[in-house]
C-alpha cells in the first residue's frame, strides 16, 4: 500500500502543490490581517492538498489513453500499469472527501464555494477536447486558491482583493501555455486543443509573455489595494525576476530547459509572494 501511495503521489506530481498552496496561505494571511489561527491554517492545508490531489488524479484517469499514446507520457503510472484504474479512483475519492471535510470544518461559505471550485478543476481535464482556451480554465481554477484561503478565515467575500485572483489566473494561464508547447505536435495529431497547437509555439509564447506582464502588474496592484508594506514589493520584484528568467531560458525553438522554467521558477514565484505578504503584514 505504501508503494502504491508513493507511485500515485509521483504520478500526480504531488510536490507541485507548492504552486497553489502559498497563494491559499496568502489569501488566509490577508483575511486575518496577519497569521491566522492554527486550526484554520491546518484545515486550509488539508483542503488544498485534497482538492489538488483529487483533480490531478482525475486528470490522469481522463487522459490515460492520450498519455499512453504520447511518447512523453507513456511511462506514467496508469498507462504503464503501475497503478490499476480502480486504485486511482479510490485515491481521488478519498482526497475529494478530504477536501470537503476540511471545508466543512472551516465555515458555511467555504463549504458553499467548495463544490464549484472542485468541479471547475475536474472540468479542466476535458477542456482540451473542445477548446484551446483550456489554459484559461486552469487559470480560473487556481485563481480560487487565494479566494479560498481568504474565505476560510473571514467567512465572507467582503473586501477580498479580486485583483489577486486575476493575477494568479494570468500567471497560471501563461505558464500552462508554455508547458503545453511540449505536446503541441502530438495534440494536433490526435485532435486535442491548446494554444500552442492552434497558433504555433511562437505565437503561444508571445501570448504567455503578455499574460505574465499582466500577472506582474496585478500582483503589484494587490499590494496597493491591500495597503501592504514596502516589503511586499520585494517579493513582487523577485517574482518578476523569476518570470523574466523563465522566458529568457526557454524559447519556442529550444524547450530543453522547460523543467527548470516550469518547476523551479514557478515555485520561487509563489513562495516569494507569500513570504513577502507575511513580512509586509508583520510590519504593517
Distance CA 253, CA 49 (A): 35
pLDDT of 181 over the 90 cut: yes
Where would I find the H helices in 17-161?
Answer: 21-32, 38-62, 64-69, 77-80, 85-104, 108-127, 134-142, 144-154
Q: What is the CATH number of the domain that holds 232?
A: 1.10.357.140
Q: What is the pTM of this model?
A: 0.94
DSSP code, position 181: G
Secondary structure of 11-25 in the HEC alphabet? HCCHHHHHHCHHHHH
**Which three cell numbers mark 128?**
482540451
Q: pLDDT value at position 275?
A: 96
Q: Phi then psi for 34, rounded to 5 degrees?
A: 155, -150
Q: What is the DSSP string of 118-146?
A: HHHHHHHHHHTTT-TTHHHHHHHHHTHHH
User: Confidence class of residue 200 from pLDDT cuts 50, 70 and 90?
Assistant: very high
pLDDT of 207 over the 90 cut: yes
User: Confidence class of residue 18 from pLDDT cuts 50, 70 and 90?
Assistant: confident
The total domain count for the chain is 1
What is the sign, positive or negative, of the torsion defined by CA atoms of 60, 65, 71, 75?
positive
Q: What is the DSSP string of 169-205?
A: HHHHHHHHHHHHGGGHHHHHHHT---HHHHH-HHHHH
pLDDT of 173 over the 80 cut: yes
User: Confidence class of residue 192 from pLDDT cuts 50, 70 and 90?
Assistant: very high
Q: pLDDT value at position 196?
A: 97
User: Confidence class of residue 41 from pLDDT cuts 50, 70 and 90?
Assistant: very high
CB 36 within 8 A of CB 67: no
* Average confidence (pLDDT) over 119-126: 96
Structure-model confidence comparison of residues 205 and 12, the more confident one: 205
Mean pLDDT over each residue of the chain, to the nearest integer: 93
Q: Phi then psi for 156, rounded to 5 degrees?
A: -150, 155
* Average confidence (pLDDT) over 98-126: 96
Range with lowest mean pLDDT among 9-13, 58-62, 69-73, 201-205: 9-13
pLDDT tens digits, one per residue of 47-56: 999 999 999 9
CB 36 within 8 A of CB 28: yes
Distance CA 214, CA 103 (A): 31
235 CB neighbour count, 10 Å cutoff: 24
* Average confidence (pLDDT) over 110-125: 96
Residue burial 157-193, b: 16+ Cβ < 10 Å; e: rest: eeebbebbbbbbbbbbbbbbbbbbbbbbebbeeeebb
pLDDT tens digits, one per residue of 217-252: 999 999 999 999 999 999 999 999 999 999 999 988
Domain that holds residue 92: 2-282
CA distances from 190 to 92, 198, 204 (A): 27, 13, 19
Q: How far apart are the first and last CA of the chain?
A: 48
Distance CA 92, CA 73 (A): 20
**Where does residue 90 rank: exposed (0-12), middle (13-18), buried (19+ CB within 10 A)?**
middle
Distance CA 179, CA 183 (A): 8
Amino acid at each position: 500500500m505504501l508503494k502504491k501511495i508513493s507511485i500515485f503521489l509521483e504520478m500526480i506530481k504531488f510536490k507541485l502543490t507548492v504552486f497553489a498552496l502559498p497563494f491559499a496561505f496568502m489569501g488566509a494571511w490577508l483575511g486575518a490581517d496577519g497569521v491566522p489561527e492554527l486550526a484554520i491554517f491546518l484545515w486550509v492545508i488539508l483542503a488544498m492538498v485534497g482538492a489538488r490531489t483529487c483533480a490531478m488524479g482525475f486528470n490522469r484517469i481522463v487522459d490515460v489513453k492520450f498519455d499512453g499514446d504520447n511518447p512523453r507520457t507513456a511511462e506514467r503510472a496508469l498507462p504503464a500499469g503501475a497503478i490499476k484504474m480502480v486504485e486511482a479512483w479510490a485515491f481521488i475519492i478519498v482526497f475529494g472527501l478530504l477536501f470537503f471535510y476540511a471545508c466543512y470544518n472551516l465555515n458555511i461559505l467555504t463549504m458553499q464555494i467548495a463544490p464549484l471550485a472542485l468541479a471547475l478543476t475536474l472540468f479542466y481535464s476535458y477542456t482540451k477536447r473542445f477548446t484551446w482556451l483550456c489554459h484559461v480554465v486552469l487559470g480560473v481554477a487556481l485563481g480560487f486558491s487565494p479566494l479560498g484561503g481568504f474565505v476560510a478565515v473571514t467567512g465572507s467575500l467582503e473586501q477580498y482583493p479580486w485583483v489577486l485572483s486575476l493575477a494568479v489566473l494570468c500567471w497560471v494561464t501563461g505558464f500552462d501555455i508554455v508547458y503545453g508547447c511540449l505536446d503541441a505536435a502530438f495534440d494536433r495529431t490526435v485532435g486535442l486543443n491548446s494554444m500552442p497547437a492552434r497558433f504555433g509555439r511562437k505565437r503561444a509564447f508571445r501570448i504567455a509573455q503578455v499574460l505574465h506582464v499582466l500577472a506582474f502588474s496585478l500582483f503589484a496592484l494587490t499590494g496597493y489595494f491591500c495597503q501592504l508594506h514596502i516589503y511586499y514589493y520585494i517579493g513582487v520584484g523577485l517574482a518578476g525576476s523569476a518570470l523574466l528568467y523563465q522566458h529568457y531560458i526557454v524559447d519556442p525553438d529550444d524547450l530543453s530547459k522547460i523543467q527548470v522554467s516550469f518547476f523551479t521558477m514557478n515555485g520561487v514565484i509563489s513562495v516569494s509572494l507569500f513570504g513577502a505578504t507575511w513580512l509586509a503584514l508583520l510590519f504593517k
